């Protein structure tokens, strides 16, 4: 009986040690729920805190798996004790950003990372101007260069926002590789058209369109 009691006591003691070890070294939690948006050109993160959450660790960079803490800047940033459940930052447009979110518990234990990607589009072209050269029957278009744009897309149609790539009418223009902030094309007299322009970044992502510009030639 004495032997059995010792054996039982040893088993209980070992079970207690295992339990203490578990609470002293809790397992790593799964990555938290988080989402990102950059449709307006402002990098925005929204996080949902899990149980026993204390604060966040945030990492972001414009290259996947390329975060370097010694090279912090507009495209590369980090926080280790961020307490709010949302985060916003103005970042360079025309880039994609990889981001990592960790939840850190009240015991200082980091969760696994939640990793995501979001693209920040260029601003749409602005300050559009047009000039019709009646002698050459040429319409000259121009706009302010968009920072980060490597080329522009042009659309010309006889209907406002009525572009239909399936139905090209006489006088319609579709050009996706304009490399300067201007474009000229032939146009007939007594014709009315709408035109608009898009900025395109190095990743081939398009901005929203500019406002439609209208002209009627005489």
Output the pLDDT for position 76.
81
Average pLDDT over residues 170-182: 88
pLDDT, tens digit, 9 for 90 and up, residues 95-119? 889 999 999 999 999 999 999 999 9
Output the pLDDT for position 167.
63
Output the pLDDT for position 130.
93
Dihedral sign for Cα 145, 147, 151, 155, please.
negative
Output the pLDDT for position 29.
84
The proportion of the chain whose per-residue pLDDT surpasses 70, expressed as a percent, equals 76
Q: Which of 26-30, 34-38, 76-80 has the least mean pLDDT?
A: 26-30
The domains found in the chain, sorted by start residue, are 27-120 (2.60.40.10), 129-216 (2.60.40.10)
Phi/psi of residue 9, nearest 5 degrees: -60, -40
Output the pLDDT for position 47.
96
Average pLDDT over residues 156-160: 77
Mean pLDDT of the chain: 82
C-beta separation of 217 from 188 below 8 A: yes
Q: Is the pLDDT of residue 179 over 90?
A: yes
Average pLDDT over residues 46-67: 85
- Between 187 and 153, name the one with better pLDDT: 153
Three-state SS string over the chain comes to CHHHHHHHHHHHHHHHHHHHHHHHCCCCCCCCEEEEECCCCEEEEEEECCCCEEEEEEEEECCCCCCCHHHCECCEEEEEEECCCEEEEECCCCEEEEEEEEEEECCCCECCCEEEEEEECCCCCCCCEEEEECCCCEEEEECCCCCCCCEEEEEEECCCCCCCCCCCCCCCEEEEEECCCEEEEECCCCCEEEEEEEEECCCCCECCCCCCEEEECC
Does the predicted model carry a pTM greater than 0.95?
A: no
């Amino acid at each position: 009986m004495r032997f059995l009691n010792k054996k039982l006591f040893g088993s209980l003691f070992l079970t207690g040690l295992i339990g203490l070890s578990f609470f002293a070294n809790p397992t790593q939690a799964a990555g938290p729920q988080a989402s990102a948006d950059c449709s307006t050109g402002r990098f925005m993160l929204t996080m949902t805190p899990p149980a026993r959450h204390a604060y966040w660790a945030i990492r972001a960079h414009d290259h996947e798996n390329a975060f370097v803490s010694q090279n912090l800047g507009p495209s590369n940033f980090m926080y280790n004790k961020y307490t709010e459940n949302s985060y916003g930052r103005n970042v360079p447009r025309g880039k994609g950003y990889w981001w990592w979110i960790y939840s850190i518990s009240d015991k200082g234990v980091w969760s696994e990372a939640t990793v995501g990607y979001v693209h920040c589009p260029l601003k749409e072209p602005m300050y559009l101007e047009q000039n019709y050269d009646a002698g050459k029957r040429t319409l000259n278009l121009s706009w302010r260069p968009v920072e980060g744009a490597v080329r522009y897309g042009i659309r010309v149609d006889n209907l406002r926002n009525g572009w239909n790539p399936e139905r090209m009418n006489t006088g319609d223009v579709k050009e996706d590789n304009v490399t300067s902030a201007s474009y000229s094309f032939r146009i007939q007299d007594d014709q009315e058209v709408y035109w608009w322009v898009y900025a395109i970044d190095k990743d081939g992502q398009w901005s929203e369109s500019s406002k439609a510009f209208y002209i009627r030639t005489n």
